[in-house]
A = this chain, B = another copy of it.
Amino acid sequence: MQYGSASSKIIFNCDFILDWGLLVMNFLELSEERREALRRELEEKYQAFAARGLQLDMSRGKPSAKQLDLTNDLLVSVSQEAGVKCRNGVDCRNYGLLEGLPEMREIFAELLEVEPDEVLAGGNSSLNLMFDFMAQCMYHGIGGQPAWMTQGRVKMLCPCPGYDRHFAVSEYLGMELVCVPMTPQGPDMDRVEELVKDPLVKGMWNVPKYSNPDGYTYSDDTVRRIACLKPAAPDFRVIWDNAYCIHDLSDTPDRLLPIMKECKKAGNPDLVMLFASTSKITFPGAGVAAVAGSKTNLAEIKARLSMQTICPDKINQLRHIHKFKNAQGMVDHMKAHASLLRPKFDVVLKTLEQELGGTGIARWTKPNGGYFISFYALPGCAARTVALCKEAGVVMTPAGATFPYGKDPKDSNIRIAPTFPPLHELETAMELFCIAAQLAALEHLAR
């Protein structure tokens, strides 16, 4: 059975993924009668849930209200006393400083492990910075090369499952999305090294630490192999969306090898563009985002940016600087987030283990940070599981969303986003989710 063997392969690589098919009550080994009895029992429980008229949203990686409370002093922290000038004497209330405040660039330089002059601190959205960079490559070109759009039907490598908004950007821009399997060590690098021999392959999306949705952190070997890539396209760019760079859940966080240093060692400084934001450190939508890259790449970005805007919101950057002082201030602050998030991840994992452990119909990841738990249903069961949840009042991320074009070829992956709902709602939602997953599996096995 293809599914079983795929799972076994992963087990060898990654001991924190549940094996299936080994424990008791394995659905796949039950008789048809037992399955049908079980289905009726679950159907009854499901109807009881549906009757409660739930309205829970677990679809997006949003911080909870309690997490937002952690940063409420940002609402009031720039005062005349604290001063409205940044270190270099610029009045942050007026036009100027296209590249952002020097203090802010330093903070992001530390978070992304690059030099301060390799950073532009921008507005409120790293997605916007990525969109604009990709649009620039597509329509104007990068690295002194002709615009991507003039070179044919260009392609973007999409490690998957991955972040739907990444895929959507390159699809909107007219690129072809090429799926690369994700592993617990990062994208399948054998496949990547093969694919970049095609000069039409122009880049690769990455969430290298606590990947969305799996929560995997790229291994040192993966980072080095990426840094050493010699793509056929001189204008190939690695998009390094380090969205969860300091978003650890445990006291023994994953450690990501600094890619810029590796790129420089490999003589490949222009290969990578890095992105990050404080969206999930302070306020989503009211934080500060940054883009980093070689000075050559940044100069090309600034040439476009100077046409596009006069400067970022420096007052908001100043608020962040007054609050955190430096990168360590942000790292310390993230411990408070972790204290709020850990119990939520624990509820999800506990419920999954309790309800689905040993059933043979699901596996899931146990990340050390980030915003998601990645759930793998029996192939063919993800969409039905999500639909059952929705009918009973719990909105999950649509099945397939984690794959290019919204199509999971196995219809297996579901992204669980535990951060937003309060704990008691999360418990309810996960109970329902596990019932839905079992029902979907039993329906599937009955076919």
Residue among B80, B95, B316 making CB contact with A316, cutoff 8 Å: B316
> Cβ of A172: which chain B residues have Cβ within 8 Å of it?
304, 307
Are A312 and B124 in contact (CB-based, < 8 A)? yes
Given the known interface contacts A63-B94, A285-B94, the answer about A310 and B125 at a Cβ–Cβ threshold of 8 Å is yes
Please tell me if A50 contacts chain B, counting CB pairs below 8 Å: no
Hey, what's the 0/1 contact readout for A281-310 against B, CB within 8 Å counting as 1?
A: 001111000000000000000001001111
Please tell me if A62 contacts chain B, counting CB pairs below 8 Å: yes
> Cβ of A307: which chain B residues have Cβ within 8 Å of it?
131, 165, 168-169, 172
Are A127 and B310 in contact (CB-based, < 8 A)? yes
Which A54-75 residues sit within 8 Å CB-CB of chain B?
60, 62-63, 65, 68, 71-72, 75
Are B93 and A68 in contact (CB-based, < 8 A)? yes
Are B92 and A309 in contact (CB-based, < 8 A)? no
Please tell me if A314 contacts chain B, counting CB pairs below 8 Å: yes
> Cβ of A123: which chain B residues have Cβ within 8 Å of it?
123-124, 313
Are A92 and B286 in contact (CB-based, < 8 A)? yes
Bound together, the chains give a CA A283 to CA B78 distance in angstroms of: 14
> Cβ of A138: which chain B residues have Cβ within 8 Å of it?
139
Residue among B71, B75, B93, B132 making CB contact with A286, cutoff 8 Å: B93
Please tell me if A21 contacts chain B, counting CB pairs below 8 Å: no
Please tell me if A380 contacts chain B, counting CB pairs below 8 Å: no
Given the known interface contacts A93-B68, A139-B139, the answer about A285 and B311 at a Cβ–Cβ threshold of 8 Å is yes
Please tell me if A315 contacts chain B, counting CB pairs below 8 Å: yes
> Cβ of A310: which chain B residues have Cβ within 8 Å of it?
125, 127, 165, 284-285
> Cβ of A283: which chain B residues have Cβ within 8 Å of it?
93-94, 315
Are A285 and B308 in contact (CB-based, < 8 A)? no
Please tell me if A96 contacts chain B, counting CB pairs below 8 Å: yes
> Cβ of A314: which chain B residues have Cβ within 8 Å of it?
285-286
Please tell me if A135 contacts chain B, counting CB pairs below 8 Å: yes
The number of chain A residues with a CB under 8 A from chain B is: 49
Please tell me if A151 contacts chain B, counting CB pairs below 8 Å: no
Are B75 and A79 in contact (CB-based, < 8 A)? yes
Q: Determine how close the nearest CB of chain B comes to the CB of A302; give it in whole angstroms.
A: 13
Are A309 and B128 in contact (CB-based, < 8 A)? yes
> Cβ of A62: which chain B residues have Cβ within 8 Å of it?
94-95
Q: Determine how close the nearest CB of chain B comes to the CB of A334; give it in whole angstroms.
A: 17
Given the known interface contacts A94-B284, A284-B95, the answer about A315 and B131 at a Cβ–Cβ threshold of 8 Å is no
Are A65 and B91 in contact (CB-based, < 8 A)? yes
> Cβ of A76: which chain B residues have Cβ within 8 Å of it?
76, 78-79
> Cβ of A71: which chain B residues have Cβ within 8 Å of it?
93
Identify the closest chain B residue to A289 (Cβ).
B309
Q: Determine how close the nearest CB of chain B comes to the CB of A63; give it in whole angstroms.
A: 7
Bound together, the chains give a CA A124 to CA B96 distance in angstroms of: 13
> Cβ of A312: which chain B residues have Cβ within 8 Å of it?
124, 285
Bound together, the chains give a CA A75 to CA B311 distance in angstroms of: 18
Please tell me if A257 contacts chain B, counting CB pairs below 8 Å: no
Bound together, the chains give a CA A121 to CA B162 distance in angstroms of: 30
Are B315 and A313 in contact (CB-based, < 8 A)? no
Please tell me if A84 contacts chain B, counting CB pairs below 8 Å: yes
> Cβ of A309: which chain B residues have Cβ within 8 Å of it?
124-125, 127-128, 131
* Cross-chain pairs A/B with CB under 8 angstroms, 11 sampled: A68-B84, A68-B91, A75-B80, A76-B76, A94-B285, A123-B124, A124-B312, A165-B307, A169-B308, A285-B310, A286-B316
